[in-house]
Amino acid sequence: MAISRNALVAGNWKMNGVSASLAELKAIAEGVAGGAAGTAACAICLPATLLARGAEIAGQHLLVGGQDCSAETFGAHTGDLAAEMLRDSGASLVIVGHSERRADHGETNAVVRAKAEAAYRAGLTAIICVGETRPQRDAGDALEICGAQLEGSLPPGATPDNTVLAYEPVWAIGTGLVPTVDDVAAMHAFFRAQLKALLPHGGDALRILYGGSVKPDNAESLMRIDNVDGALIGGASLKAKDFLAIASVYA
Ligand code: PGA
């Protein structure tokens, strides 16, 4: 590998978590502080209602992030959250363009790009998600679809510091299904070439995560694939034991 990228193991709690769930976050923070993930960076993207308390519990070694932000800076947008508000609550990252938001809220590539730019303005790292549906993969269109999502969603100002790409096949999210090692390798190599072309000065160093049914028993084989620089974990990030078992691939 031409460049060493420090892995990122990120959890996505989605619309899960109330005050009592902070005990799991505390256990994750303690595990990470104790070296469970080696030198890999670890983060949990929390529901916004838990961010401020979560940031305190997370401490020095575990990052916390949001799961979405507005493309706008501030103002009359009832119910939306500005990236700056997430930052003010202790977030250092935010997921943008998760397939659940693309599907449930009609977010287009242009919207996702504007949200990533809002994240940059607030000093947050954007985790930009892309991924194909099952019919798209079956039709042989996965690379083309994901390539177009990446090109449309990635702001020109993306750098390896302010942006992480996450490949999440929609059909692998929450299903227990995962693509083959060869399919993940092909997609991540394709993204790497595209990132180098789009960002001549940073495309080689920008991290590309795999997400979609990452579990303790498949993490090792997925994380060892070339150009897989970490994981975005949904269900398994809700339990400290599972999240730490996955992160321990990097210990
Ligand atoms: P999952 O979710 O790990 O539960 O499949 C991944 C995600 O949606 O980020």
Q: Which of 100, 168, 170, 209 to mutate to test the pocket of ligand 1 (most atoms within 8 A of CB)?
A: 168
> Rounded mean pLDDT of 82-88?
98
Cα 243 to averaged position of ligand 1 atoms, centre (Å): 12
The CB of 178 under 6 Å from ligand 1? The reply is no
210-233 tens-digit pLDDT? 999 999 999 999 999 999 999 999
Note the pLDDT of residue 146.
98
Mean pLDDT, residues 74-82: 97
Identify the pLDDT of residue 207.
Answer: 98
Q: Whose CA is nearest to atom 3 of ligand 1?
A: 234
pLDDT given for residue 1 in this prediction: 37
**Alpha carbon distance 145, 159 (integer Å):** 23
Q: Rounded CA gap, 217 and 236, in Å?
A: 11
pLDDT in tens, 112-154: 999 999 999 999 999 999 999 999 999 999 999 999 999 999 9
Contacts of 182 (CB under 8 A, 6+ apart): none
Cβ within 8 Å of residue 127, ≥6 positions away: 10, 45, 65, 93, 94, 95, 96, 164, 165, 166, 209, 232
DSSP character string of 180-193 = -HHHHHHHHHHHHH
Buried b (16+ CB within 10 A) or exposed e, 124-136: bbbbbbbbbbeeb
| pLDDT at residue 2 greater than cutoff 70 | no
Residue 3 has pLDDT above 90, yes or no: no
Average pLDDT of span 202-207: 97
* Helices 22-33/48-58 angle, 10° precision: 40
Token pair for residue 209? 């995560």
Is pLDDT above 50 for 190? Answer: yes
Please say if the pLDDT value at position 25 is more than 70. Answer: yes
Q: Is 77 a catalytic residue?
A: no
Quick check: is 151 catalytic?
Answer: no
**Ligand 1 pocket member 238 (CB < 6 A):** no
* Rg (alpha carbons) of the chain, rounded to whole number: 17
Please state, for a pLDDT cut of 70, what percent of the chain lies above it. 98
- Does residue 246 carry a pLDDT above 70? yes
Q: Give the pair of three-digit tokens for residue 176.
A: 């227990």
Domains of the chain: 8-72+79-91+99-124+139-238 (3.20.20.70)
